[in-house]
Structures are given as structure tokens and as C-alpha cells.
Amino acid sequence: MKDDNKSTLSVHAGQQRDSNIGVVNPIEPAVAFHYIDSGNQYYPRYFNTPNQQYIVEKIAALEHAPTGMLFSSGLAAISTTMRALAKPGDHVVMMENLYGGSLSFAAKEFSELGIAYDLAGSTVEEIMESTRPETTVILVETPANPLMQIIDLQALATAAKAKGILTVVDNTFASPINQNPADFGIDLVIHSGTKYLGGHSDLQFGTVTGSHELVERIRQKGICYGGNLDAMSCYLIERSIKTLDVRVSRQNENAMEIAKFLDKHDSIAKVYYAGLPTHPGFEIAQSQMRGFGGMLAFDLAAQHSATHFLRHLKLISPAMSLGGIETTVTLPVHSSHGLVPPAERQRLGIGEQLVRLSTGIENIEDILSDIEQALRTSVEKPAALQTS
């Protein structure tokens, strides 16, 4: 697989070379720009201001796409994109284990808008079986939350193109360092930049990248809905993405070490990490990812209490969200899948013992010894955790 220089692109793509501005792009907070002589109709909600464009150049270069757009959240990117690609009477196919916010967007909005949709399992066959003649778009994630299922991007793009259906991949878990769906023919790539692109658990934004034609369709919808960002946030995002490659490379390395450590640990029943040869998606992941990413999950053995394990971690924080430089954990039954009925969770393989871990950039020995001591002390089951 092509291994282009992501560290150089992370730093330099979108950087203006102008002797008057130094090596960092200026912050231009104006929401009113002179237009008479320049003809520039810049306005933040038109998604075209200089600070927005610097980041678009960077993320488009990182995602191997001609252009893109920047939003105020990942869900703003997802909802605006899906609205731009599906109109009343159309049909949409989404993977059943997408991010919960994407699923509830479909559940709450599509029916009101007269857009039909189906949820499919996480193989290309299951997804394509769910399509209809009026299907306009397919939305998937790979690796997917929380069991890290992998979808064959090339096979999906080929099958969808043959039926004239657009494909959208939420590439949040992989990050553009590890995977570029555009290389396999996927039409649009979305990120919750709140995760790896921002990387410090202190920014919220979203991106979409793709062809000029498709991004212009999304921009026209975005102009109606808003969901744009201001110049100050853009400056922080740009600064964050400059270190994306070094952060994610370290997170890849740490996650692989953690997965191997857990895989041979007596206290762990099962590890879900696409970088382990035992993972069902390993071979496809190896063929379409440069690194396996920082996200993994594991089932604690029956004698451990998952909530007790979380409470005993000293370095690692039980915290929602993911992709930050600090290692964090969640229990999907209390977080992403808290509203899913238990029988349905069981069908999806998401049990009470499942822990999802987002790997940070800390010293690997410190992370492993924190996990080890929490495993040692979490053998006895405490009273049930209040989840409200």
C-alpha cells in the first residue's frame, strides 16, 4: 500500500508561504470582508473564509481528496452530508453499528423527511442486500465501534458504484494517518475531528472530503443549516493537526502493545483489535490500513467486575469520547449502547464485561501497569454502579 509522507502533510499542507506572515497562518476573525475589488464573498456560514480553507487544504491532502468542508461537529458533517445526498422518496443504507448519534439522526429525522432507511450488518454482502432501486447513499464506519469490525472498502465501493449508489465512510476511528477510503473508490470521507484530528480532548469539529461536485452539494445544504466554525477554533484545529502523524503513530504502537498484552492475560476473555491475526477483519485491515489505530475493546473474564475495573484505574481515565493523547476507557453498555435494549446488545455482542479503550501517547509501561493493577483489584464484584 502507498505510504505517503503524512507527517510532512500534517505540518505543511494548507500553510501559506508568504514572507509577511511567518510560518504560521494568521487568524482572520472577520465575518465581513471587502468584496468590491477582490470579488471574494467570504462569510463563515458559506464555509469559505481563509481560516476554514487552510484546514480544508490540510485535511483534503491528508485524505487524498480534491476538496472538503469543515463543520462545528462530527454530527453536523454527517447530518448535512446525508441530507445533501438523500431527498424525500430516497432510500439510505447504514451499518447497524454506526456511531449512536448517526443512528439517532436517521431515526429522528429521516422519517419526518420521508427518507426510508435500513440498517445492515457489517459485511459488504449484508449492506448490498439491503439496497433498493431508490437507494442513493450508503454510510459505514471501519473500524466500527465498539468491536472494531472491518469493512472491505474496495469491495463496497465497487458494488455500490455498479448500482449508482454513493458511499460515505466515517473514518474517525482510523484517522487519515491509517486509512484513506478515497484510495479505494469511496466517494466521501467524514471525520468527527473532535477525536483524532483535534487529539487533545478540547475541540469539537467535523470534516467531509470528496469531489468538488459532491462537496458543493453539501456546502449548499450547509449554507441552509449552518454548522460552521469561527476563525479562533480553526486556528486551534490547524495547530492540532500539525502533530496528527506523530500522535497517531504513537497511538498505533501503544494500542498494538496493549492488545498483545491483553490477549495473553488470564483476566481477559477476548480482545477486539484489527491488528491481531485472530480478529476476523485482520486480513482486510492489513490490506487497507497503514496502521491498525488506537481503538480496541476487550471482554473481562467473568470473575471481574467491569465497573470495579474502571474505578481502580489510576492513570487511565474512564471518560466518554476518544482519540485524545490520554488513554481513556468506557463501558459501551453505559455509554454508546446505553439506550440499546439488552437483548439487542446481546445480539450485537456487546455485553456487561466489554471495555472500550482509546489509547493515548503515554509511556506504554505506565499504561500496562495501570491496567495490570486494576485487573488485580477488580476481581470482586461491587454493588451495581448508578448509571444515571
Residues in contact with ligand PLP by CB under 6 A are 73-75, 99, 101, 141, 145, 170, 172-173, 192, 194, 204, 206
- Give me the residue label for grid cell 456560514: 45
Distance (Å, whole) CA 377 – CA 267: 11
Backbone angles phi, psi at 237, to 5 degrees: -65, -45
Q: Least Å distance between CB 127 and ligand PLP?
A: 17
Q: Least Å distance between CB 369 and ligand PLP?
A: 28
Residue 86 cell numbers, joined: 438523500
Q: Least Å distance between CB 372 and ligand PLP?
A: 28
In the three-class reduction of DSSP (H, G, I as helix; E, B as strand; rest coil), residue 75 is classed as helix
Q: Is the peptide bond before 146 cis (omega within 30 degrees of 0)?
A: yes
- Which residues have C-beta within 8 Å of that of residue 108, sequence separation ≥ 6? none
Q: Least Å distance between CB 194 and ligand PLP?
A: 4
- The angle that helices 364-377 and 244-263 make with each other, rounded to 10 degrees, is 40
Q: Are 67 and 92 in contact (CB under 8 A)?
A: no
Q: Which is nearer to ligand PLP, 139 or 316 (CB)?
A: 139
In the three-class reduction of DSSP (H, G, I as helix; E, B as strand; rest coil), residue 282 is classed as helix
Residue 308 cell numbers, joined: 470495579
Query: Which residue lies nearest ligand PLP, judged by its C-beta?
Result: 74
Burial of 365 (0-12, 13-18, 19+ CB in 10 A): exposed
Q: Which is nearer to ligand PLP, 62 or 374 (CB)?
A: 62
Q: Least Å distance between CB 11 and ligand PLP?
A: 24
Q: Which is nearer to ligand PLP, 50 or 101 (CB)?
A: 101
Q: Strand 206-210 vs strand 67-71: parallel, antiparallel, or unpaired?
A: antiparallel
Q: Least Å distance between CB 78 and ligand PLP?
A: 6
Q: Which is nearer to ligand PLP, 83 or 304 (CB)?
A: 83
Q: Which is nearer to ligand PLP, 75 or 354 (CB)?
A: 75
Q: Which is nearer to ligand PLP, 86 or 144 (CB)?
A: 144
Q: Least Å distance between CB 171 and ligand PLP?
A: 9
Q: Which is nearer to ligand PLP, 141 or 299 (CB)?
A: 141
Distance (Å, whole) CA 46 – CA 40: 11
Distance (Å, whole) CA 40 – CA 88: 34
